Amino acid sequence: MVLFRGDIKCKSLQRRTSISVILPADNIHFLQDTEEIVPQPYRTLYLLHGLYGSDDIFLANTSIQKFAEDHGIAIVIPCGENSFYVDNEKAHAYYGEYVGQELLDITRNIFPLSDKREDTYIAGFSMGGYGAIRNGLKYHENFSKIGMISPALITDDIVDFDDDSNVLRSRDFYESIFGDLDKLEGSDMDPKYLIENCPDIPDIYMACGIDDFLFRKSADFYMYLRETGVDATFVGDEGEHTWEFCDKYIKEFIKTLVSD
């Protein structure tokens, strides 16, 4: 296994930003005198962190590094700040464009990653789950599967938020990200709008803890997908909005990738 942590310069953000990359290479077992060779180019999961996170947070809070090695898949984790992975024109911080296209171009140029749609996936936890569905649909030509773990599907709710000192309930905060909240519905930041206008919807996998404060939003979105005729998988299991739940189900999602 190879772990790369560094920074890259990207046009979408007009600055340098950090990334972590897990590669299933050099899988050498010295005591057993064996070596497992994963064929290149690698299948790749682009994994998005949640609010308050950074590109190293999955490495610190989950066992995904060893799991990726054991299952022969590369994982690219960008730093998304608190952007919800959407495009902020005023700040020239096009995080959607970054994770949906430019990050793929940059990492494929540096590492031996497959450029095939069927080998390329996007997933995320919490805010990253929203970023995965938003950009997995908007850039559907790049991704074959979308994974949403405890996703923050809150775009229907934030329009009713008031000013609050807590970021999670602050209308000002969400307006700084999404712009005019009254125009959010029916835009390319509205997952339902994207579903209705996506010509080739990637496979969708969802998981959320039944005691998670976001569970009802996930269950409602899954029902919407079913009513719209979209084939998706939804798992509601014991658990809250925790890293333990994320660790379990991001690995369950990876199992679906390597079972094909």
Reduced to 3 states (helix: H, G, I; strand: E, B; else coil), residue 245 is helix
HEC profile of 187-240: CCCCHHHHHHCCCCCCEEEEEEECCCCCHHHHHHHHHHHHHHCCCEEEEEECCC
Residue 205 identity: Y
Q: What is the pTM of this model?
A: 0.95
Distances (CA, A) of 205 to 93, 125, 224, 235: 28, 12, 14, 8
CA distance 195 to 222: 12
Query: Looking at domain 2-258, which CATH architecture does it have?
Result: 3-Layer(aba) Sandwich (3.40)
CA distance 22 to 26: 11
pLDDT in tens, 194-207: 999 999 999 999 99
| Token couple for 111 | 């590492």
Query: What percent of the chain shows pLDDT beyond 70?
Result: 95
Query: What percent of the chain shows pLDDT beyond 90?
Result: 83
pLDDT in tens, 211-237: 999 999 999 999 999 999 998 999 999
Domain ranges in the chain are 2-258
